[in-house]
Amino acid sequence: MHIAKQRAVFAIALLLLILYSCRRYQNLTPSYPFSPQITLSPLQEERTYDAVKARAYNEQGINLYRKGDIEGAIFAWKAALEADPSYAEAHYNLGRAYYEQGRYPDALFHFQEAVRIIPISSTAYYNLGLTYAALGRLDEAKGAFEIAVLLKPEYADAYFNLGIVNYLLGNYDEAIFNFENVLVIQPNNVYALYNLGLALYTRGDIKRAIEKWELTVQLNPVYAEAFYGLGLAYLKQGEIEKAESAFQSCIKISPNSVIANNARRELERIRQHQ
């Protein structure tokens, strides 16, 4: 009975860790600010319709966007597409503007058009993946991110978000592979390290999860979620003192957070069993 109760406590704690992490990353976002595109591909030279006018409107939209006039930029990019419906850069820029406004169905249409016109653009596929994910269409997001990394094997952001999507889909081995690829490209990426630890923990590889989370907090000593994960993992290994220390660090770093409240509950359970 005691063993069954203990397993139930661990299951609840793991669920809280997973839900907190998923909530933190459920709206997948790029690591770098949006930069409007003048060109998506050097191969896209032959244009139909009024390409000169479309290019001028596209560049006008870029200038307006950089000045903070997003609505003006959207108007200019729409004008570019009226001049040339096949102008992929205007589709891409409109997609990003709509994405930033939370208008995901509109963004989706324009990213789909961008990759249809220029199917070799890893950037367009990456943003298509972000939009599918924002709409909750995770299988399609996975497909778009996979194409992005196929087109650009060093695309760390695409590997990271592919890892998040695979984790949310329950594809833990694939998520582990994706986060490991990020770390090949960016060895000190603490977000990849943390999520790699989470995927390993969820799969049951507690020892390796501890290794990744210990490295995470070495690189970022104020990563509260990693300390909480370490606390759970140390408990699994029966290392009570280490678990208490990890939970206390979590609380100290982020005392008013949900994750700190979870850590307090874990500490109370430990005291009750001492």
Tokens of 136: 């909750």
Q: pLDDT value at position 40?
A: 55
Do 50 and 129 sit in the same domain of this protein? yes
Do 176 and 189 sit in the same domain of this protein? yes
How many domains does the chain contain in total? 2
Helix, strand, coil shares of the chain, percent, nearest 5, are 75, 0, 25
Do 15 and 51 sit in the same domain of this protein? no
Q: pLDDT value at position 9?
A: 37
Do 109 and 204 sit in the same domain of this protein? no
Taking CA 157 as the corner, what is the angle to CA 186 and CA 131, rounded to the nearest 5 degrees? Answer: 170
DSSP states of 59-116: HHHHHHHHTT-HHHHHHHHHHHHHH-TT-HHHHHHHHHHHHHTT-HHHHHHHHHHHHH
Q: pLDDT value at position 50?
A: 82
Q: Among residues 152, 186, 212, which one ends one of the domains?
A: 152
Give the CATH number, domain containing residue 67: 1.25.40.10
Give 10-residue mean pLDDT values along the chain (274 residues).
39 41 37 47 53 92 94 96 94 95 96 96 96 96 97 96 95 97 96 95 96 97 96 95 96 94 93 83
How far is Cα 60 from Cα 160, in angstroms, rounded to an integer?
33
Do 72 and 141 sit in the same domain of this protein? yes
Do 126 and 198 sit in the same domain of this protein? no
Rg value, the chain, Cα: 23
Residues 193, 183 contacting (CB under 8 angstroms): yes
Q: pLDDT value at position 11?
A: 38
Do 128 and 209 sit in the same domain of this protein? no
| Residue 190: partners with Cβ closer than 8 Å, 6 or more residues away | 216, 219, 220, 223, 226
Q: pLDDT value at position 49?
A: 62
Do 251 and 179 sit in the same domain of this protein? yes
Q: pLDDT value at position 10?
A: 39
In a domain, 159, yes or no: no
Q: pLDDT value at position 222?
A: 96
Q: Which domain holds residue 123?
A: 33-152
Tokens of 96: 């990003």
Do 148 and 222 sit in the same domain of this protein? no
Do 177 and 232 sit in the same domain of this protein? yes
